[in-house]
């Protein structure tokens, strides 16, 4: 059932199948426009002034390499609105992604940005089988996260109907899938697998109308895809994006499924060696660095995503002329994605700092015993605070748990360990032990 053929449909053939020469011209114009718009942002204006960059400096795509990089830290330093290029009155929507300090990074959209965004989501949804007669259940959280509202607008753009289930309450999600006869499911891959397992346990395997899933927001493997497809009898497609760039819609798979097509009329994606920042060849793994070409509210230049993948410029059977990117194969920083939520070890450190008696030594362990991530923290107690009174230790453990949840929004299992029991490091401390086996 799960290996039925998905018809090759293209939402925006003009953009997606554009001859490459034409696209290059469009990208050069887009880069100029982005430099012009970015001048309104003090961070970029300072950098441009220093190196004498103006929109006219961009004459070829190679000139992208003269432009400055942007990091998550740069965005954080300009909290909350330092990277906005339009006045408040021109904003139509704000979203946010999690940061290391408990403060999010805000991103803004003008009405035109939102229209472009919904079109980009529509492209990968149609590429993966969405048609106007389908009903789609969105099980991403509706809120600051770009997943819920982003995909919602994409579905409406295709003309299909949306069931905005939002996240959580698995039994209710399954009831909706069954009773509404949902055709397409949208969520994270790990949640899809979790739903699948519950559906099987409830004896409903093979009884749903579900045919497609569009999954993204966190890394997953081909093995997970096979599991999801087999359990649910569906076809599951991968899509990639990040809030700093736009949200979902940066790239997504077509029916051929040999990499995710990058929406190159809207973004330039470089693949660079994360150490030297030199470009790597097609097929070689590097860090994705992304520049927007059309964004009004938050134009972004050479954003270091820290996501590791490789690019593929070979032609695709589907007829799209865009480059493709592989699955995300890892990160060049220590960000963890736990149940779809981005978490940095520094957030855990910050939570521990709020609780007296905890030493600066801790270790995070991630596992996936069933289909959902489990996160645990081992925290070393300072000798003078270590007590053999159970009650005192339980209180401290609960306090740490609450602080960690307050900052990350996630539940971690907290284990207190005796002084001097965690490994010490001479170089970079290794704080995260990811035993989820995510890489292919």
Binding residues for ligand DLL, rule: CB under 6 A, are 97, 145-147, 216-219, 238-243, 247-248, 305, 307, 328, 337, 342
Tokens of 150: 């982003």
Say what the alpha-carbon torsion angle 429, 432, 434, 435 is, to the nearest 10 degrees: 80
Tokens of 2: 């799960």
- Nearer of residues 336 and 416 to ligand DLL, judged by Cβ: 336
Nearest distance in Å: CB 118, ligand DLL: 14
- Nearer of residues 173 and 239 to ligand DLL, judged by Cβ: 239
* Peptide linkage before 104 cis (omega within 30 of 0): no
Nearest distance in Å: CB 282, ligand DLL: 20
Contacts of 314 (CB under 8 A, 6+ apart): 282
Nearest distance in Å: CB 204, ligand DLL: 26
Alpha carbons 240 and 251: distance in angstroms, whole number: 5
- Nearer of residues 216 and 357 to ligand DLL, judged by Cβ: 216
- Nearer of residues 238 and 371 to ligand DLL, judged by Cβ: 238
Q: What are phi and psi of 241, to 5 degrees?
A: 180, 170
Alpha carbon separation from 131 to 122, 126, 265, 334 (Å, rounded): 10, 7, 23, 39
- Nearer of residues 241 and 357 to ligand DLL, judged by Cβ: 241
Contacts of 395 (CB under 8 A, 6+ apart): none
Nearest distance in Å: CB 407, ligand DLL: 16
- Nearer of residues 211 and 306 to ligand DLL, judged by Cβ: 306
Alpha carbon separation from 162 to 11, 94, 184, 211 (Å, rounded): 18, 21, 10, 15
Helix (H, G, I), strand (E, B) or coil at 214: strand
Nearest distance in Å: CB 269, ligand DLL: 12
Nearest distance in Å: CB 295, ligand DLL: 15
- Nearer of residues 84 and 220 to ligand DLL, judged by Cβ: 220
Nearest distance in Å: CB 388, ligand DLL: 43
Nearest distance in Å: CB 408, ligand DLL: 13
Contacts of 226 (CB under 8 A, 6+ apart): none
Contact 339/194 with Cβ under 8 angstroms? no
**Of 347, 360, 300, which Cα lies nearest the Cα of 84?**
300
Nearest distance in Å: CB 109, ligand DLL: 14
Alpha carbons 4 and 149: distance in angstroms, whole number: 29
Q: Give the torsion sign (CA, 121, 127, 131, 132).
A: positive
Contact 83/75 with Cβ under 8 angstroms? yes
- Nearer of residues 242 and 366 to ligand DLL, judged by Cβ: 242
Helix (H, G, I), strand (E, B) or coil at 95: strand
- Nearer of residues 307 and 380 to ligand DLL, judged by Cβ: 307
Tokens of 193: 């697998």
Q: At what angle do helices 146-158 and 111-127 cross, to 10 degrees?
A: 70
- Nearer of residues 30 and 249 to ligand DLL, judged by Cβ: 249
Nearest distance in Å: CB 205, ligand DLL: 26
Alpha carbons 231 and 218: distance in angstroms, whole number: 20
């Amino acid at each position: 059932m799960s290996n039925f053929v998905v018809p090759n449909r293209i939402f925006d053939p003009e953009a997606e199948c554009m001859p490459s020469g034409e696209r290059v011209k469009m990208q050069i114009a887009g880069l100029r426009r982005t430099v012009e718009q970015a001048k309104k942002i003090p961070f970029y204006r300072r950098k441009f002034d220093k190196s004498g960059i103006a929109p006219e400096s961009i004459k070829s795509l190679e000139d992208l390499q003269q432009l400055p990089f942007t990091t998550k830290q740069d965005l954080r330093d300009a909290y909350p609105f330092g990277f906005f290029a339009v006045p408040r009155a021109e904003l139509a929507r704000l979203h946010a992604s999690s940061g290391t300090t408990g403060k999010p990074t805000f991103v803004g959209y003008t009405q035109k940005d939102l229209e472009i965004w919904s079109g980009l989501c529509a492209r990968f949804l149609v590429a993966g089988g969405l048609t106007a007669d389908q009903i789609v259940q969105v099980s991403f959280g509706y809120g600051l996260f770009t997943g819920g509202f982003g995909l919602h607008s994409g579905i409406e753009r295709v003309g299909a109907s949306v069931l905005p289930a939002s996240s959580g309450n698995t039994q209710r999600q399954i009831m909706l899938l069954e009773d509404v006869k949902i055709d397409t499911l949208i969520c994270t891959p790990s949640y899809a697998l979790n739903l699948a397992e519950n559906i099987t346990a409830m004896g409903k395997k093979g009884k749903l109308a579900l045919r497609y899933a569009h999954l993204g927001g966190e890394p997953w493997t081909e093995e997970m895809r096979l599991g999801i497809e087999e359990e649910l009898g569906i076809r599951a497609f991968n899509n990639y994006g990040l809030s700093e760039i736009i949200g979902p819609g940066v790239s997504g798979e077509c029916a051929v499924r040999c990499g995710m097509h990058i929406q190159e009329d809207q973004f330039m994606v470089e693949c660079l060696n994360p150490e030297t920042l030199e470009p790597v060849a097609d097929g070689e793994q590097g860090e994705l660095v992304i520049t927007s070409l059309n964004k009004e509210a938050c134009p972004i230049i050479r954003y270091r995503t820290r996501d590791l993948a490789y690019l593929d410029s070979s032609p695709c059977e589907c007829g799209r002329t865009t480059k493709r990117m592989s699955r995300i194969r890892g990160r060049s920083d220590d960000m963890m994605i736990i149940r779809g939520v981005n978490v940095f070890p520094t957030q855990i450190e910050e939570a521990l700092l709020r609780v007296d008696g905890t030493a600066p030594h801790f270790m995070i362990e991630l596992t996936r015993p069933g289909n959902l991530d489990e996160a645990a923290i081992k925290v070393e107690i300072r000798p003078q605070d270590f007590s053999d009174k159970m009650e005192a230790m339980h209180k401290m453990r609960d306090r740490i748990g609450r602080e960690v949840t307050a900052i990350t929004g996630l539940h971690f299992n907290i284990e207190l360990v005796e002084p001097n029991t965690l490994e010490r490091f001479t170089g970079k401390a290794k704080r995260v032990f990811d035993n989820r086996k995510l890489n292919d």
